[in-house]
Each structure stands twice: as C-alpha cells, then as structure tokens.
C-alpha cells in the first residue's frame, strides 16, 4: 500500500513539474513574439569573408601538419594585401554589391512586415549597379497577404534595382506571385513552381443541424454580404457569386503575372498546375536552373555579397523561448515523420 501511494505521489510531482515547464516554455514563446519594432536590429553579414574563412579552415585541415605554418603565413600576407587595397580604394566609388534577402512564407505571409523594412533599407543605400537576391520559399496562402508581399518585392523593380529570385524548394501560388516581380527567376531542378490558380474551401454543417432541429438565422445587409456560410443553407445564387469572385481573383492573378513575364503563355499555364524547376524553364516560368548557393558563390567572385536580416536582439529569455519552440517543432515533425513512414510501410 505504501509503495502504491509513493508511486502515485511521484507521478503527481513529475506531472506537476512537466506542466510547469510547459507553462514556462509557452510564456517564453509568447514573450518572444512581443518584441517591439524599436528593438529590432538590422544584421548584415559579408558572405565573402564568411566563405574565405571556411575555405581557409578546410585548406588547413587538409594540409600536412608540417606545412600549416607556411600556409598561415600565406593567409596573413593575403590579408595585408587586401587591407592595403582597401585603403587605396577608400576614396573610390564602391564596386558592385549583392544584397541578399530571405523570405520564408507561411499561410499569412507573416514575414511581410519585416521584409518590407529590409527592402526599404536596401533601397536607401543600393546603387544602380547593385543586385538584390531574394531566396524565396513559399507554397502560397491568403490572397491579400501575398498581394502585399509581392508589392513589397515589386518596390525593388520600381526603384530600378536588378532583382533575382532564387527558388530552392518551392514558389507556388502566392509564392510565385512574389517571384514573378523579379527580372530573373532561378530555380533548383526539383523546385516546385507555378500553381497559378485560386482555391477556396468552406465546410457546411447545415444538414446536420437541421437533422437535430437546430435553426441558424443569418442576417445581412447587402445582397452578397455573405455568399457562403458554414452553418446556414447555401443557395445556388450564393454559390454562383462565390465562384464568380474566385474567377475574378484568378483573372487578377493572371494579369499580374502576364504583365511581369510577357513571354509566358499565361492562358495555357494558369491552370493551377505545378512544374519542377527543370520543366518550368522551357515554359518560361523561370529564366534559369540552379541553386541559390551556387549562384551566390559565383557572384562572390565578381562582387561583395551581404545578407540583410531584421532580427530581434537575442536576449536570454528569447533564446530560451526559441529553444523551447524549436524543440516542440522538432518533436512534432518527428511524430509526423513516423506516421508518414508507417504509411509507406503499409503500402
């Protein structure tokens, strides 16, 4: 009996501790989302220097111990020459620069606000000979959200800056709406491209409610204030109007893409289908095939390349909150992976 009581007590204590940790984690995650815009900092990283350091480390690792001293001496000599060249060119006009932005889109294109500020910062300093590279990854989402995101990216074209969008994984639907604002689109061979279409899905439980004698009164002012509803009975007229609105949104989508990529056969390609990068090239959906990493490495031989990112300061609470958030996300992804693997095994 005593052992049973002890086990129950231990279980209660462990459960309490776990719940407390979860509560603290959720609180920290919430605090990380409450960062004020005034606390955000623009982080700029020169990729040329980063790549040089990595190449040197690899060269040292691959060199015999007896020859490393000589190689380090060579590195110091190269650094002195570079510093001397920089001093000589201080009064000269800066050479071409490449500014790199990242956009990872969710359903609501939540990154748009920060992305807009990053675009504004670059427009304020970039010269006409500079290039802006946007590493874009998005499967699309809400029409108005991605319309705004595309408009922010379009500001670079309006400012007269050469813009290249690199797609390594996916730029579909709203993601492709953003991509088509660039003068050049580069996609990895198996990146998912296209999906120029509009979709809407509205569940309706009216018959279930009716079966249980539950009435729903939907009162509106304006004939088409609510065309489809979840609870009430949907009419054929309402469905027709809803479909008309979808077609109108699709027409605007097609017009936006066709204006920026006139070489495309928009009526043939705007069917909601997707293509992989290598297939999208002959369809004029993209301009070249390749990865963002390969493209930036090539540009580093020709220009100074900088990543630009607006971030909140990494305070302790933020770091801890992000760590907890990342842990929860990894656990969820692992669970989904196990479920998916089990599904494949059944087949």
Q: How far apart (Å, rounded) are the C-alpha atoms in residues 117 and 132? A: 14
Q: How far apart (Å, rounded) are the C-alpha atoms in residues 180 and 165? A: 8
Per-residue tokens: 164: 């290249």
Residue 347 reports pLDDT greater than 60: no
Q: Quick one: 118 exposed, middle or buried, by C-beta within 10 A (0-12, 13-18, 19+)? A: buried
Q: How far apart (Å, rounded) are the C-alpha atoms in residues 305 and 307? A: 7
Residue 157 reports pLDDT greater than 60: yes
Q: Which of 36, 80, 225, 241 is catalytic?
A: 225
List Cβ neighbours of 17 (8 Å cut-off, separation of 6 or more).
Answer: none
Per-residue tokens: 56: 């040197």
Residue 333 reports pLDDT greater than 60: no
Which pLDDT score is estimated for 319? 58
Residue 342 reports pLDDT greater than 50: yes
Is 255 marked active-site? no
Model confidence pLDDT, tens digit, residues 77-97: 888 887 777 666 555 556 899
Report the share of the chain in percent with pLDDT over 90.
54
Q: Which of 138, 173, 195, 292 is catalytic?
A: 173
Is 69 marked active-site? no
Indicate where the chain has its CATH 3.90.226.10 domain(s).
Answer: 41-59+96-195+273-311
Q: Which of 31-45, 109-123, 215-229 has the lowest mean pLDDT?
A: 31-45
- Give me the CATH topology for the region 41-59+96-195+273-311: 2-enoyl-CoA Hydratase; Chain A, domain 1 (3.90.226)
Report the share of the chain in percent with pLDDT over 70.
77
Which pLDDT score is estimated for 79? 84
Average pLDDT, the chain: 85
Model confidence pLDDT, tens digit, residues 42-89: 999 999 999 999 998 998 889 888 888 888 888 888 888 877 776 665
Q: How far apart (Å, rounded) are the C-alpha atoms in residues 318 and 61? A: 35
CA distance readout (Å), 69 to 20, 61, 75, 208:
54, 12, 10, 80
Which pLDDT score is estimated for 225? 86
Of 347 and 111, the one with more pLDDT: 111
Tokens 């790199």, located at residue: 100
Residue 109 reports pLDDT greater than 90: yes
Q: What are phi and psi of 126, to 5 degrees?
A: -70, 145
Work out the average pLDDT over 23-49: 71
Residue 166 reports pLDDT greater than 90: yes
Give the pLDDT band of residue 346 (cuts 50, 70, 90). very low
Q: How far apart (Å, rounded) are the C-alpha atoms in residues 136 and 133? A: 9
Work out the average pLDDT over 127-134: 96
Which pLDDT score is estimated for 195? 96
């Amino acid at each position: 009996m005593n052992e049973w009581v002890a086990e129950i007590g231990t279980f209660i204590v462990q459960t309490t501790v776990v719940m407390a940790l979860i509560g603290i984690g959720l609180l920290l995650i919430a605090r990380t989302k409450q960062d004020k815009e005034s606390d955000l900092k623009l982080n700029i990283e020169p990729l040329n220097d980063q790549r040089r350091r990595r190449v040197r480390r690899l060269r040292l690792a691959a060199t015999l111990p007896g020859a490393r001293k000589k190689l380090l001496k060579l590195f110091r000599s190269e650094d002195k020459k570079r510093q001397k060249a920089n001093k000589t060119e201080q009064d000269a006009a800066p050479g071409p620069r490449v500014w790199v932005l990242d956009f990872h889109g969710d359903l609501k294109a939540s990154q748009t606000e920060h992305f807009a500020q990053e675009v504004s910062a670059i427009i304020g300093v970039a010269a006409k000979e500079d290039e802006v590279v946007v590493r874009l990854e998005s499967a699309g989402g809400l029409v108005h959200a991605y319309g705004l995101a595309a408009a922010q990216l379009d500001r670079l074209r309006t400012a007269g800056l050469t813009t290249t969008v690199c797609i390594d994984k996916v730029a579909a639907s709203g993601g492709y709406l953003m991509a088509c604002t660039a003068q050049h689109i580069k996609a990895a061979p198996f990146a998912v491209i296209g999906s120029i279409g509009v979709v809407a899905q509205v569940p309706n439980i009216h018959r279930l409610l009716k079966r249980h004698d539950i009435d729903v009164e939907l009162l509106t002012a304006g004939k088409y204030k609510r065309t489809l509803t979840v609870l009430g009975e949907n009419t054929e007229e309402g469905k027709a109007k809803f479909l008309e609105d979808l077609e109108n949104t699709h027409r605007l989508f097609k017009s936006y893409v066709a204006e920026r990529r006139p070489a495309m056969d928009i009526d043939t390609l705007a069917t909601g289908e997707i293509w992989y990068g290598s297939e999208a090239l002959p369809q004029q959906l993209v301009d070249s095939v390749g990865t963002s990493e390969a493209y930036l490495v090539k540009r580093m031989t020709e220009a100074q390349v900088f990543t630009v990112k607006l971030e909140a300061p990494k305070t302790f609470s933020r770091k801890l909150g992000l760590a907890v958030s990342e842990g929860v996300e990894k656990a969820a992804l692992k669970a989904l992976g196990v479920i998916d693997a089990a599904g494949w095994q059944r087949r």
